[in-house]
Each structure stands twice: as C-alpha cells, then as structure tokens.
Structure 1
Amino acid sequence: MTDRETLSQQAYKTIRQHILDGTFSAGDLLSERVLAEESGISRTPLRSAISRLENEGMLARLANGTLMVHRITVEQLLEIVQIRRLLEAAAAGKAAAFPLTPALRRSRDVMRAYAGGRHAVFDQFWLDDEDFHLAVAEASGLHLLPSLLKDMRSMARLCTITRTHDRFEEQALEHLAVIDAIEAGDVAGAAAAMERHFDSARTRFLAWLAHP
C-alpha cells in the first residue's frame, strides 16, 4: 500500500465514523477544503476517500460540487428492511443446517442480558445487533452477505428514527428465537423467526414515526 493509499484509507475511516456517530448529520454540507485541512492531507487522497463514500451512498455531491451527508428517508429505510428480510431469512435457514457457531453462542449470551433488562445506549446495542446479524450471515455460508449487510446497515444508520430508543428487550427476544431455531436445526423455523424479527422492526419504525 502506498502512502497516498494509506492517507486515503485513514480519511475514509475518519469521515465515515463522523457520519455514523452523528458528528456529521444527514443533510450537513461539507467542504473538501475544510475536510482536507482537518485531516491534514492533500485533496488527491481525500477525493479518493470521498469517492468511496459516495459509492457507498453516505455522501452525495450537489450540482454546485458541494458535498452533503446523504439523507436516508423513511421509505428508503423500509426498503432496506424488506431487502434484509428476504436475504437474512434465507441465511438463517441455511445456518440451521450447520452446528451453532461460537459467534452465535456469544451473541446469545449478550442477547439474554438484554432480554433480562440490560440497559445500554443505542450505539452499544447497534454494535451488538450487528454482531448477531453478521454471525447469522457468516454461519449461513453465504460469503457475500456479510459485506452487503454492512453496507445496508451503514445506510440505515443515516435515518434518524433508528436512534430514537434505548430499550432493547423485544429485539433481543427476537434474536434469541432465531438462534434457538438455528441450534435446533429447524430450517423453516429459523427463516420464519428472522422474518418475524424484520416484520417487528418495520412495525417499530412506523410506530416511532407516528409518535415523535
């Protein structure tokens, strides 16, 4: 890896993290010049990082060349939920054909704590939730799925209604139902449990939208 590639990678990670943690909010306008100054790098490696973030849907370039943190609408969020429902239900069914993986066993322990009333800030649950979904994807043997899920989750994170709660018992119980079905080797049951999880997620999103 060249020095320029290293600088570009560092800039990519920094800007992406600022978007995900809310330092840069959806709709914020960003200047290449300011980003370059803050990153301490030249425009060339910065533009490589920006291009990557544009391709991931996290940044958009306006007609005048200004960069904007991409807004994800509720409609787009629900579309992501629907796509993930199809993909992850299939993954859960495939995972049930194999022994329960160590990653899913670890996730089960974490989810049992949430189901028992463990309190956590949204950002912590987001990470634990990602561990669960990636563990299912990896256990399925669908090798392209984990990276696809990461991209869709990154886009979903840009919709503000995903950040409006801090109680996670219901989601944890849904995760546990998927893991239990996978451990039991219940292919149809695991797929159905994952479908119910995403149906519930859609219902929760719509409820939060109706009661801001």
Structure 2
Amino acid sequence: MDDHDVIDDTAEESLAEETYRLLLAEILSARLAGGSVVQQRRLASRYAVSRSPMRHALGRLEGEGLLVRNDKGVLCVRVITLKDYLDSLAMRMLLEPSAAAAAAGRMAVTTLHSLEAMLDAIEADAEPDPEFVWQFDDALHMSIADASGNGFMAATIGEMRRYTTIFERQMAVVRAKPGVAEHRGILAALAGSDPEAARQAMTRHLEAVRQGVLTNF
C-alpha cells in the first residue's frame, strides 16, 4: 500500500464518520422519524457521498440499534415506544443521580460557567430556539456524565439519552423552557461541590421529566 492509498482510506473513513454524524443528528432530532424507510441511494444523493461511506454509516447505526429491519427485511428507523422510553429513562434514573454526585467538585469551572451562560440565555429569551434548548440539555447531562470519572457510566447514559431524546423530540412541545428551574438547581449543586444536593437535584429533574411525558402522552 502506497501513501496515496493511505490518504484515500483516511479520507473515506473521515467521510464515513461525517455521514454517520449527520444521519445520527437526523434521527435524534426526529427529522428521520421512527418507522421511516431508509433508502441508501437516496440518502447518498442527498448528502452527496458515494455509496461506500453511506453503507458504512448505515451499518454502524444498525449495529447501535437505531436502525432495524422490518418484517420484509427493509431497513427502517427504529420506532421508540413509550415502553422503550420509560425503560431508558429508568436506566438514566439509576445512573445520573450518582453521576451528578460524583461530578460535584470535579467539573471544570469553565464548563460550569459555559452551562450557566447557556441557561441564562434560555431563561432571558421569551421564545428560545428549541435547537439551542436541546443543545444545552445534551451539554449539561453529558458534561455531568463525563465529569463523573466513570467512562462506563457515561457511555451508558449517552446511549440511554439517545432513546429518550428521540421519543421526547417526537412529542409536541409542552414547555418552551423545559426544566429551567430544575437545571438551575443541578448547576447550583455542582457549583457548590455538594454531592448529595446534586444527587437529589438530578433525581427531582428526571422524575419531573418522566411525569411530564406521562401527563402529556
């Protein structure tokens, strides 16, 4: 294999990774809704990529369980049912309070300030951009998971959040600023380096999320 082959392989791997991330974002945002048939050729044309990186990206998403085969063997976006959602949220409720407790006193001050600034912007805006709200939510929860110092816990939280995010984003928006007070409580506990307060704040938040979904389903 010469240098040209190595460059070609690296470029294709990079394109496959980019394609994967684009498709993942489409699924998580529900732009590719549950049950949608996945047409490789059409998606490759849409993203202006060859079939090879598209095939790699689709195979990866299928391996992660976000794409499934229907009864006819056709590749589709997985439908996240209420049971799937509640089961995933139950896993988060087992792990995230512990992650929050572990993260208290460990999270970088710059990360805390960034999260607080994002939440301030959401609270100050009468009609915040829903995409920005979701970005904040993901940044908060995954920053806490990462700061827990437990990579296995963080990976599981990230996986479960995929399923709960897909389900929640397919629901009608109930509140323009979901969980602002709860998120503020979590950040205050983290900033105060108080593990037990962080644990309790995360527990209250996730219980409120669960109740909100059940009330509005």
TM over 0.5: yes
Aligned-partner residue type, residue 141 of structure 1 = G
Structure 1 residues 201 and 69, CA, compared in 2 at 3 Å: closer, same or farther? same
What's the TM-score, normalizing by structure 1? Answer: 0.84
Return the offset for 1:164: 2.0
Give the aligned partner of residue 5 of structure 2: none
Aligned-partner residue type, residue 124 of structure 1 = F
Structure 1 residues 192 and 162, CA, compared in 2 at 3 Å: closer, same or farther? farther
Return the offset for 1:73: 0.7
Aligned-partner residue type, residue 81 of structure 1 = L
- The SS at the match of 2:92 is helix
**Residue 26 of structure 2, aligned match among 18, 23, 33:** 18
Decide whether the 8 Å contact of 1:119 with 1:167 is kept in 2: no
Deviates most, 195-204 or 77-86: 77-86
Could you list the runs of 5+ residues in structure 2 that have no partner in the other structure? 1-8
Decide whether the 8 Å contact of 1:92 with 1:140 is kept in 2: yes
Give the aligned partner of residue 111 of structure 1: 119
Structure 1 residues 137 and 168, CA, compared in 2 at 3 Å: closer, same or farther? farther
What's the TM-score, normalizing by structure 2? Answer: 0.82
Query: Are positions 1:142 and 2:150 aligned together?
Result: yes
- The SS at the match of 2:76 is strand
Distance in structure 2 (CA, Å) of the matches to 1:96 and 1:184? 8
- CA RMSD in angstroms comes to 2.5
Return the offset for 1:14: 2.8
Could you list the runs of 5+ residues in structure 1 that have no partner in the other structure? none
- The SS at the match of 2:79 is coil
Deviates most, 146-155 or 171-180: 146-155
Distance in structure 1 (CA, Å) of the matches to 2:124 and 2:50? 50
Return the offset for 1:28: 0.9
Aligned-partner residue type, residue 148 of structure 1 = T
Structure 1 residues 97 and 38, CA, compared in 2 at 3 Å: closer, same or farther? closer
Give the aligned partner of residue 88 of structure 2: 80
Return the offset for 1:173: 0.9
**Residue 54 of structure 1, aligned match among 57, 62, 66:** 62
Return the offset for 1:148: 3.5
Deviates most, 84-93 or 180-189: 180-189
Percent pairwise identity: 28
